[in-house]
Structures are given as C-alpha cells and as structure tokens.
C-alpha cells in the first residue's frame, strides 16, 4: 500500500496564493418565447430555450486564448490551491511580469474589439437576415460588453489560525487538509503532464526535434521551484535532471530518443510516489 504524500503546514511560509479573475463575454442572449411568434413550444417544465449569438464567435476567440495562456502560466509554476494556485514566493515577480504581458494584450484586444463592435453586430445580423428581428432585439451596447471583459489577479499570503485558542475551530478550518494535499496534487499534475508528453511527443518515435525537450524542462523547473512542498520532490527532479543531462548540449535539429529517456518518461508518468 502506498504511503500518503502529505505536505506540512509550514510550506505556507514559502508560497503565495494566486487568484485569477478573467471574465469573458459569450455574445449570447437568452432565447425568448416571443422570438418564435405563434410557434407551439413545449411548456417550461418540460424543456428550456437555448441562446442566440448576437456577434460572430471568432471575434471573441482571442480572449479565450489569452485566458488559457494565463492558466498555463500558473500551472507551469504552481499547484491548484484554494480555488486558485499556490506558487513559490520567490517566483512572484516573474509571474506578475508574465501576467502583465498577457493582461496588456487582453486589454489591447478588448479596445480593438469594442471599436469594431457595432460594425461586427451589423454584419452579423446582415449575415443572418432571416433572423434579423430576433438578433436586433437582443443586441447590447458596447458599454455593457466592456464591463464583461476583464482580466485581474490577486496575490495573497495564507496563514493558519495558530493564535486561535479554540482547537476545534482550527481543526475545522479546512486549511490543514488543503495544505496536506499539495504534495499529492503536485505529483498528480506532473504525472499527467508526463503522460500527455509521452503520448503526444515520444510514443512510437525514435527521434524528435529539440523542441520536444521543452515539456521535460518545464516539469523539471516546476519541481525545482516547489521542492519545499514535499520531500519526495527532490528524487523525481533528479530523474528528470538525469535524462536532460544525457542529451547533447548543442541545438541539434533532431535528437535520438534513447531507451533511458523513454524509461524516465514512463516512470514519471506511472510511478506511485
């Protein structure tokens, strides 16, 4: 039976919690009975109406892409924690700098979208002329849209209720359980990344491009940044370091996938730490 991987409450001294708030606008409005005129529809307790798009979905795709970039950034450095992420405190400056770049791009795209918004809606209605009345009656102004596209984050320090005299309150706070799961969450995330990398990059191949090393380096850097979370982190990081150290230092166009590297990927993905 595997020994549970538990993190100590003292890891909170070395981490910051990050909450990311990215709000997107779907350009959807609820369909109403009035939209269908005299058509006989099922009663509301039997079926509910869907929604209608009032702007082209491709014009909003960039905002979802930027949100995904922000999530990937935080996943690269941290562990899911308290509805957000736990990241190493010494990585805060680097993370904020990268988040700022994404946020600035988000806001720049937002201003471009809002400047073109009225025209996009007119063109969308014209494209679906048979449903023009349904769409025109559902449109909203650009100020409404502006308020629904947002990008912000908060960094904060988490501390246990050490000064609370009520032991029952401390035990029931839930924080200890959340912290205990950090180590297991870290290894689950690394194993998932290793499995995906193996299947998408290495499986069935005898050579890969130099770019294929990037996921290995990302996993290694994440583990090294979070070595304080759980003692088992160090040997896992050493396994990845061993694989990386065996590869040529020159930027070859293609690299042979040797048996050792294959076994390392399989072990990281499947081993019960």
Return the top range by mean pLDDT from 26-30, 47-51, 88-92. 88-92
- pLDDT value, residue 162: 64
CA distance 260 to 240: 11
88 by DSSP, 3-state: which?
A: strand
163 vs 204, higher pLDDT: 204
Segment (H or E) for 65: helix 61-77
Q: Tell me: the pLDDT tens digits for 224-247?
A: 899 888 877 888 788 778 777 776
For the segment 93-149, what is each residue's pLDDT rounded down to a tens digit? Answer: 999 999 999 999 999 999 999 999 999 999 999 999 988 888 888 899 999 999 999
Judge contact between 235 and 223, C-beta under 8 A: no
Q: Are 85 and 75 in contact (CB under 8 A)?
A: yes
| pLDDT tens-digit series, residues 59-108 | 999 999 999 999 999 999 999 999 999 999 999 999 999 999 999 999 99
Name, of 9-13, 80-84, 176-180, 212-216, the range with top average pLDDT: 80-84
Can you give the pLDDT at residue 259? 45
Q: What is the pTM for the complete model shown? A: 0.81
CA angle 157, 158, 163 (to 5 degrees): 120
Who's near 208: CB < 8 A, 6+ residues apart? 201, 202, 254, 255, 257
Q: Which residues contact 241 (CB under 8 A, 6 or more apart)?
A: 220
In the beta sheet, which residues pair with residue 207? 256
What was the pLDDT predicted at 92? 95
């Amino acid at each position: 039976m595997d020994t549970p991987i538990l993190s100590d409450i003292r890891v909170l001294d070395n981490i910051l919690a990050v909450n990311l708030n990215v709000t997107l606008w779907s350009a959807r409005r609820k369909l109403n009975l009035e939209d269908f005129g005299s058509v006989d529809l099922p009663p509301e307790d039997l079926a509910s109406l869907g929604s209608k798009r009032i702007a082209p979905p491709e014009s909003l795709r960039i905002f979802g892409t930027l949100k995904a970039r922000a999530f990937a950034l935080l996943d690269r450095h941290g562990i899911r924690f308290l509805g957000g992420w736990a990241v190493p405190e010494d990585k805060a400056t680097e993370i904020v700098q990268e988040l700022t770049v994404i946020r600035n791009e988000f806001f720049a795209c937002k201003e471009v979208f809002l400047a073109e918004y009225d025209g996009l809606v007119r063109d969308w209605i014209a494209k679906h002329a048979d449903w023009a009345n349904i769409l025109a009656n559902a449109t909203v102004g650009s100020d409404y849209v502006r308020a629904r596209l947002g990008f912000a984050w908060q960094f904060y320090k988490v501390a246990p209720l050490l000064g609370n005299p009520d032991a029952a309150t401390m035990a029931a706070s839930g924080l200890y359980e959340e912290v205990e799961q950090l180590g297991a969450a870290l290894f689950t995330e690394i194993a998932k990344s290793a499995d995906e990398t193996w299947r998408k990059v290495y499986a069935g191949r005898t050579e890969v491009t130099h770019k294929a090393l990037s996921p290995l380096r990302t996993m290694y850097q994440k583990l090294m940044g979070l070595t304080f979370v759980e003692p088992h982190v160090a040997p896992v990081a050493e396994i990845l370091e061993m694989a990386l150290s065996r590869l040529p230092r020159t930027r070859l166009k293609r690299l042979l996938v040797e048996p050792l590297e294959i076994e390392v990927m399989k072990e990281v993905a499947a081993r019960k730490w």
